[in-house]
Structure 1
């Protein structure tokens, strides 16, 4: 039985708790930790078994027998907590984004390597059936070489969203919608087609003058084959419609799933190609549905890894690649330059100090509240 603890019992922790409870024959939550212990106590009341409650995670990892910790705290704390847990000999599943800087990612990965422990970064959309189906179709090559990609990471957050004490600042949240919302779609992009060679970007804050960070950014990625990918990261889009569209030489495929294929008439104008569409649809239909999706799918993935049955799909190296794309977007937007990848340790957005010094501060944070009464959240990922 794998013994689990959760550090940070805010809104996202519910997804972790519910997912672990899906595998009660394989794991057991034994401890909860939060700087507001009353939040952890409220969560513990939902369990039939006794849970230990802590306000200090270091005390928890010293006193409890734990195999795996979910880190669900604000982004600026991820590196220190993850490294401390790994150094204590415990495996870690850390929420997105992996850290506030690439330098911190390096330290986290080194701690995992040195202690021979599993470090996995939450990227729950990789475990959604439509996403796995799309990845399979892309890997087949039937759509042809990809020439254009459109990523719409559209979310909506009200003005009060940035009133929470750790949100809306470069120091504590680490960035705005590009880092904390579009991270899901940027992760899927680099997982599906790899890393681009350069990035240009613009960012703005158009509706939240109570936050230092951006609420809208648009980035253009250029790949070695001259494919362009456009990424819109937003918390100002009503409806939260989220799409990934891949235009191949043979066909267009996307999530939500849609396939359209064209062939050329003699004059170069398009003619529908039902044969290619049928082949792609058949391949999409063949891929099985996931038994466990989202956070449950990812937690099953790390449980299988701890049971010695596979490697985790999203390790710290993958987590760093996603953050590298995001930091390149921030560097391009803040310094108004085209940024070459990969980023190096000499790049201004490689370290946390560099980010704090060079990022664009749109407004001052105007309010700091400890907690919201409601912990209902939207986590996207409905790609049906």
Structure 2
């Protein structure tokens, strides 16, 4: 039985707790930690857990903890993760992996030195529409991908950034590019790989209580000449989110739709129903996942611990996602075209460099310790609407 500790019992911890409980024949939650013990107590009572409660996570470092879920704000992901890896625990850390590439590298090094599993939450890979789209891309039926459109559309009210750690470069590490589009960026990298260069812009158009952006747009160029675009936003009403890939032979997307074209003698298009049917049949015959979301990723990590198999989303994956995000911030902050990868002497490799070079759109003017209502809504995501805590916000 794998013994589990949850570090941080804010809103996103429920997704972890429910995932572990769904797999309770293989694991047991034995400890909850939160700076505000009453929050941990509320979660213990809500889920009927037989878990100890501590205020300081360091009280657990000498305990028999096999696996830790780090559900804290981004600026403390690295030190907490490294401490538990050095203490002999495997770690699942919420997105974003850390607030700098320097911290990511330290986390990866700690996992390697201690021979422990490090997995970074990117639960949207474990959703049927995204997993199936990945299979269709890999099948080559749509042809080489020529253009990718990624819309990470969210909407957050002005008071969203009143929470004490949100809306600052120091503690949150960024706005929606880092904390919301991280899921879409991870999936894009998983499907198409890292671009070679990008140009980006960002602004704060609706939240004058935050230093960070609330809207960014990045244009990507891949080594083969293909282009992509990522919009990261917390100002989009309706929160429609999508991936659209334009291939040589067909358009495919999540939410799922396929359209194929062939050329008339004059170069104008006409539909090609036979290819559409072929791709649709391939998609329809793909099996559904046994679990989705956080539960599926936790299952993947448990399997890695039990069998020694690699995890799907490791520290390298988490770092690659953050590298693209930091490249967007660098381009949007400097006005320059950025070539990847970023080097260790780049100002945007460290948190201090990000804080020094990123613009302060506004100064944070108000701060609250906690919100009374911890419910997270995730809008219209790949064709479904849900109120489950799956966006990854702490």
Smaller-chain TM-score range?
over 0.9
Counterpart in the other structure of 1:132:
131
After TM superposition, give the deviation of residue 229 of structure 1 in Å: 0.5
Closer, same or farther in 2 for the Cα pair 1:253/1:165, shift >3 Å? same
Q: Relative to structure 1, is the Cα distance of residues 120 and 229 closer, same or farther in structure 2, using a 3 angstrom cutoff?
A: same
1:331 aligns with 330
Aligned residues: 383
Q: 1:117 to 1:129 in 2, by over 3 A?
A: same
Question: Do residues 242 (structure 1) and 229 (structure 2) align?
Answer: no
Pairs within 5 Å for 1:328-367: 328-367=327-366
Q: Secondary structure at the match of 2:61?
A: helix
**How far off is 1:289 after superposition?**
0.6
Q: Where in structure 2 are there 5+ consecutive unaligned residues?
A: 384-394
Given the alignment of the two structures, is residue 16 of structure 1 paired with residue 19 of structure 2, yes or no? no
CA distance in 1, matches of 2:378, 2:227: 27
Q: What is the CA deviation profile of residues 191-243 of structure 1, one whole-angstrom value per residue up to 9, with x for unaligned ones?
A: 00000000100000000000000000000000011111000000000111000
Within 5 Å, which residues of 2 pair with 1:245-260? 245-260=244-259
Tell me, yes or no, if the aligned pair for 2:240 and 2:380 is still in contact at 8 Å: no
Q: Which residue of 2 aligns with 1:26?
A: 26
1:291 to partner: Cα distance = 1.6
Match of 1:57 in 2: 57
CA distance in 2, matches of 1:237, 1:223: 27
Query: Is the CA contact 2:5–2:31 (under 8 Å) kept in the aligned structure 1?
Result: yes
Tell me if the contact between 1:198 and 1:338 (Cα under 8 Å) persists in the aligned partners: yes
What is the CA distance between 1:177 and its match in structure 2? 0.5
How far apart are the structure 1 equivalents of 2:308 and 2:351?
36
Task: Tell me how far 1:310 sits from its aligned partner.
Answer: 2.4
**2:238·2:380 contact (CA, 8 Å) conserved in 1?**
no
CA 1:381 to 1:68, structure 2 compared with 1: closer, same or farther past 3 Å? Answer: farther
1:382 shift after superposition: 3.1
Q: Output one character per residue of 1:34-70: Cα deviation in whole Å (capped at 9) or x when no partner.
A: 01111001111124442100000011222x3210000
Residues 138-160 of structure 1, C-alpha deviation per residue, up to 9 Å, x if partnerless? 00011011110100000000000
Question: How many Å apart are 1:346 and its aligned residue?
Answer: 1.5
Give the alignment of 1:1-384 within 5 angstroms.
Answer: 1-62=1-62, 64-308=63-307, 310-379=309-378, 382-384=381-383
Q: What CA RMSD, in Å, does the superposition of the two structures yield over aligned residues?
A: 0.9
Cα shift at 1:303? 0.7
Deviations along 1:61-117, one digit per CA (max 9) or x if unpaired, are: 22x321000000000000000000100000000000000000100000000000000
CA distance in 2, matches of 1:47, 1:129: 27
TM-score using structure 1 length = 0.98
Residues 152, 105 of structure 1: alpha-carbon distance in 2 compared, 3 angstrom cutoff:
same
- Report the 3-state secondary structure (helix = DSSP H, G, I; strand = E; otherwise coil) of the residue aligned with 2:347: coil
Paired residues of 1:125 and 1:381 also in contact (CA < 8 A): no
Contact 2:29 2:50 in 1 (8 A): no
Q: Shift of residue 290 of structure 1? A: 1.0
